[in-house]
Amino acid sequence: MSNPGTTHFGFRDVPVAEKEKLVGRVFTSVAGKYDLMNDLMSFGVHRLWKRWFAATSGVRAGDAVLDLAGGTGDIAALLLPRVGEKGSVVLGDINDAMLHAGRDRLLNDGFVRNLAYAQLNAEALPFPDASFDAVTIAFGLRNVTDKDAALREMFRVLKPGGRALILEFSALREPLLDKLYDFHSFKVLPLLGRLIANDAESYQYLAESIRKHPDQATLKAMMETAGFARVDVRNLSAGIVAIHRGYKF
């Protein structure tokens, strides 16, 4: 548990006011190699997780979607064909370097129409109530300082009947994999970070942040406290990641 006035930054306790800046430095550092590192760290499996996330999102033609912590645009690229010509996707991220990387990548891939960008803080979204049919966040919630505030904001900007979809690392459900998973997280990831991105420290933080993120049951309870109904959880890859879905009624 963190002391009052502090929060966790990986395995370190830091003043609440400093976490946003520290996380910002991490993602500014890794933005240029982010996609390559994701492929190497997950052996490409992150692409399958994201495709399943989009395929089971329930997003359909005409929907307005907010993709938080949208980073380099993976989720936006998967959702844009689903919303079609009458729908829209807003790619939001707090980090300027990540947002620019995402915009450049999506433009290069030919995604222009029905797509907007917003630099924003998930804890205080700059949108009116009931603006979106769906809010998504993939591998970003664990980096938010006040997760409860972010969940309340996600609930606020959803239309009645809308849904929030969270794809995030979670608690492993196969004890036999614990040692291998720890070795990969705390030995392989920082080594890859040093060799590929010239930044072992940021990838050490990312590994630690996974362990500090609420497990499946805790995040489900947090979503329910924020107002979401019919919250369900689907584990992928033995719980290495999980999809949480909740509705606003």
Phi-psi region of 36 (alpha: psi -120 to 50; beta: other; left: phi over 0): alpha
- Shortest CA distance to 18 belongs to which of 32, 10, 6? 6
For the chain, how long is the longest CA-to-CA vector? 49
Domain ranges across the chain: 6-247
Q: Does domain 6-247 have CATH number 3.40.50.620?
A: no
pLDDT by residue for the chain (249 residues), tens only, comes to 445 688 988 888 889 888 988 888 888 888 888 888 888 889 899 999 999 999 999 999 999 999 999 988 999 999 999 999 999 999 999 999 999 999 999 999 999 999 999 999 999 999 999 999 999 999 999 999 999 999 999 999 999 999 999 999 999 999 889 999 999 999 998 898 888 888 888 889 888 999 999 999 999 999 999 999 999 999 999 999 999 999 999
